[in-house]
Every structure is written in C-alpha cells, then in structure tokens.
Amino acid sequence: MQKNFLANISFLILANLLVKPLYIFGIELVVQNKVGESEYGFYFALFNLALVGQIFLDFGINNFNSRAIAQQPQLLPNYVGVIIPFKIVLSISYLMLCYAFAAFIGYPAEQWYWLFFIALIQIIASFSLYIRSNLQGLHHFRQDSYLSIADRICLLLLAGTWLAYTNNINIRQFIYLQTIAYTLAAFWGAYYLYRSLPNGITWHFDRVLVQKIARQTYPFALLSLFIAGNSRLESVWLTYWLPTSVGAYEAGMYAQSYRLLDAANMIAVLFATVLMPTFSRLLHQGESINRLTGFSGRLLFVGASTLSICSCFFAQPILQTLYPHSTSDSVTIFYYLSLSFIATSSCYVYGTLLTAKGMIRALNGIAGGILLFNLLADYLLINHNGAIGAAQAACLTQVIAALAYLTLSLKTCHLSTSWQQTFRLVAFVIGTIIIAYLCLHLPYFWAVSWLVAIFFSLLWSVLLGLWNWHTIINILKSEQS
C-alpha cells in the first residue's frame, strides 16, 4: 500500500509540474498576447472574482468527504446522494453571489456574459474536485492523478488545435473552449465515480448530515476565503477603483507577472500538500517537528529566493521574450511580485503547520486582519500607482502574513531557532544577489546566464549547509518507517 501511494503521489506531482506549466506558457500566454492587455485584463479580473467565490462551492466538503469515505467506504452511495443536491444549491447561491458582486463593481453587460461562463467553469470544476475527493477516499490514487490534469490536457488539445488552425483567438472563444474542456474532464471523473457505485446512488436529503458538514467545515472555508482574497482580488480592485479602460489595461499588465508567480507557486502548493499529512502524523504521535519544519522552511526559502532574485535581475529580457509589448511598468510589477513569492513560500510552510495543529481560529483571525489591511493597501496604492501599486500591496501583504505565521508558529509549536542558521540565510541572500549581478553581465544569451545564476546560487546554498541530500534521505527514511 505504501509503495503504491508513494508511486502515485510522485506521478501526481510530476504530471502537474509538466502539464500545468505547459498550459500556462503554451496556451494562456499566447491568448493574452493575441487579445491584448485590456481585453485579457477584464477576463483576468472576472476569473479571480469567480475563483475567490469558488470557496462557497467547496465549503470544505471535499476534505470532509475524503476522510469520511476513507473510514467508511460503504457510505459512498448515501453520501453522494446527499452531497450532490447540496452542491447544486451551493452552485445556484454562488452564481447569484458572483452577479451581486459584479453589479456592485459595475461591470458592463458584455462582462456579465463572460462572468456566467467563467462561473459555470468554476461550478463544473468544483464537481470534478468533489468526484476526486471520493476517489481519494476509496484510495483510487491513480484515477485521481489522471483527473488532476484532465482539464488542462483537454484544454491544451482544444485550444492548441484552435490556435494551430486559425492562428487567432478572442476571449469569448477561449472561455467557450475552457467550458468544453472542463465539462469533458467532469464527465471523465463521473465515469470513474459511476464505476465505483455498482448499486447506484441513494438520492435523498439528510438535514443532519448537511448540518454536520457545515459545522465541521465552515472554519476551513472561511480561512480559504480570506487567503484567496489576500492573493486574488488586486485585479478586481484595479477594474473597480480605476476608470474602465485604464483599469482593464492595468489588470492586463498585472496579469503578465502574476501568471509567472502562479506558475512558481505551483511547486510550493504541491510541497504543502505533502507536508500536511506529515505534520499531522508527527503532531498526533507527539514527535518533534523541529527538523522537518526547519528543513522544509529552508528548502522553500532557498528555492524561492533563488528563483525570485535571479529573475528580478533578468526581469526585462524575461518579460520581453514572453510579452513583446511589455513596458517598464511591467518590469516594476514583476519585481514586487517576484519578491512576494519568497514570503508566500514561507506562508505555505508555517500556515500548513498551524493548520495541521488545528489552530484554525487563530489562523482565521490573522488572515481576516491581513485581508482588511490588504484592502486598505490596495485602495491607497492602486489609486496612487495603478498596477504597480497593486503589486506593492500584494508584496507587503504577503510579507506581513509570513511574519505573522512564523511568529505564531514559534510561539505555539515551540520551534527552536538558531542565530547561526539566520546568519547563513542572510549570507545566502547576499551571495545570491552578487551571483545574479555577475551573471547578468556574462556574454551569453540571457536564458543561459539566468540558468547559470540559478545553478551557482543553489550551489552556494549547499556550501553554506542550508540543505543537503543526506538530510532529504534521512527524512524520507524516517517517513517510510
């Protein structure tokens, strides 16, 4: 069982690291360059609005369901018959909520039409995630891994074929292709679920079960809403607080760098996914979490700092290669969002630790306070500096969040600190800045110099003893035992 699980989790991570970046750079980037910053900016704002609201579609149901089915697989027909109708009600409420927010912001009629399909995509995606939670509970990990990339594979095929034959696309066509791709992936998942239900589904409404789910999951849903709001609403506020045409263009510029940040975050998200059950087991068994926390924190800090600092020095050629119409403002936005990635990576480690420890109330308090600060920072900085201000607010918000999570972790989890390790981290950052600056002046193509800078920065971290292969092997051996 353990060997099968490790093989499938490895496949899950590898597949996501291959397919999702291919989609981001092979499809989304091409679409934005085709349609332009203004049109894509409106789509990006609507997408983030729908994505934040998507928390109401899940409401923590998936985590509850995967645990419940894993413990009692025979309850699957009964749970499916209760939860699917519940999710239909949530979907209708979610759609109404999206339109209420769109009316508040004052989006024009064309954007309301886009919003319907974008929200529909999120509804379809939420049902796919629910299906995956059943497969996870049944330990059908291979099928779950396939479904995790099914929508992106379908979209790569559909949009790739469309672009190959027409060499042109608009946002409406792109949204239609997304709807088809997510629907195909959902039907694929429904087929897997149907095969797991040989006796059919018991359709009924169980008020007690629905209340039980809501009571257990609403703190997690609230936390997810706060976190999503802290990282996804800048593009929405750009279209709200700035004049329509200006806001759409600024949101499009912001989307250029945010897409790269999103791609980088994928690694941290997958890392946190693996950390969560490990932290939970160690805390449940009363074992020390110092070694794993210190190692994972250093590993993500080194990786994020290397990528962020080196990319900042090569920001102009990176953006000019990806977006031929990028400007100096695009480069400035890239600086701030790249640096925010370092703080975001720390949030994934310490936020995951605090979640595993069950400190949801404290996390909600911190995340809610940070959301209010983020709204104030967005209002002040966006009105003063447009998309650059949004990037500044995002960077400042993530730094404060990282410090808050770190402080709470040190206080409640009794983590040990070392001035020696702190000195090494500072030395690593300074050394990486020097390495990146020197590599910037190498007489090679920028991509080669950038990779050289990353290589020597990682080598510098090894020389400083921040991480090594022996530590990784020892942790893996202890986990397997």
Task: State which amino acid sits at residue 166.
Answer: T
Residues 144 and 203 in one domain: yes
Residues 228 and 243 in one domain: no
> What is the pLDDT at residue 173?
94
> What is the pLDDT at residue 154?
92
- Domain-embedded: residue 144: yes
Residues 222 and 243 in one domain: no
Residues in Cβ contact with 96 at an 8 Å cutoff, skipping those fewer than 6 apart: none
* Measured distance CA(314)–CA(164) in Å, rounded: 31
Q: What is the mean pLDDT of residues 220-227?
A: 83
Q: Give tens-digit pLDDT for 322-333.
A: 998 888 899 999
Helix (H) or strand (E) holding 314: none
Task: State which amino acid sits at residue 40.
Answer: Y
> What is the pLDDT at residue 10?
62
> What is the pLDDT at residue 277?
67
Give percent of the chain above pLDDT 70.
92
Q: Give tens-digit pLDDT for 150-202.
A: 889 999 999 999 999 998 899 999 999 999 999 999 999 888 888 877 676 76
What does the chain come to in residues? 481
Whole-prediction pTM value?
0.86
Residues 267 and 198 in one domain: no
CA angle (232 as vertex; 226, 235 as ends), nearest 5: 140
Instruction: Count other C-beta atoms under 10 Å from residue 32's C-beta.
Output: 24
* Measured distance CA(214)–CA(149) in Å, rounded: 29
> What is the pLDDT at residue 74?
78
Domain total in the chain? 2
**Please, which pLDDT band fits residue 392 given cuts at 50, 70 and 90?**
very high
* Measured distance CA(225)–CA(326) in Å, rounded: 32
* Measured distance CA(52)–CA(170) in Å, rounded: 24
Q: Give tens-digit pLDDT for 271-286.
A: 776 677 677 777 777 7
Q: Give tens-digit pLDDT for 412-464.
A: 877 777 788 889 999 999 999 999 999 999 999 999 999 999 999 999 998 98
CB hemisphere CA count around 206 (13 angstroms): 15
Q: Give tens-digit pLDDT for 43-65.
A: 999 999 898 888 778 777 777 77
CA angle (315 as vertex; 384, 397 as ends), nearest 5: 45
Residues 193 and 56 in one domain: yes
Residues in Cβ contact with 344 at an 8 Å cutoff, skipping those fewer than 6 apart: 231, 261, 265, 268, 304, 398, 402
Q: Which of 376, 397, 421 is the last residue of a domain?
A: 421
Under 8 Å between Cβ of 295 and 471: yes
> What is the pLDDT at residue 348?
87
Gyration radius (Cα) of the chain, Å: 23
- Domain-embedded: residue 428: no
- Domain-embedded: residue 345: yes
Q: What is the mean pLDDT of residues 113-133?
A: 91
Q: Give tens-digit pLDDT for 253-273.
A: 999 888 888 888 877 777 776
- Domain-embedded: residue 219: yes
Q: What is the mean pLDDT of residues 77-99?
A: 87
Among 326, 31, 264, CA closest to 169: 31
Task: State which amino acid sits at residue 223.
Answer: L
- Domain-embedded: residue 327: yes
Instruction: Report whether pLDDT(121) > 90.
Output: yes
- Domain-embedded: residue 124: yes
Under 8 Å between Cβ of 325 and 37: yes
> What is the pLDDT at residue 117?
95
> What is the pLDDT at residue 305?
93
Among 294, 304, 319, 309, CA closest to 422: 294
Residue-number span of the structural domain to which 406 is assigned: 239-421
* DSSP conformation class of 75: G
> What is the pLDDT at residue 9?
57
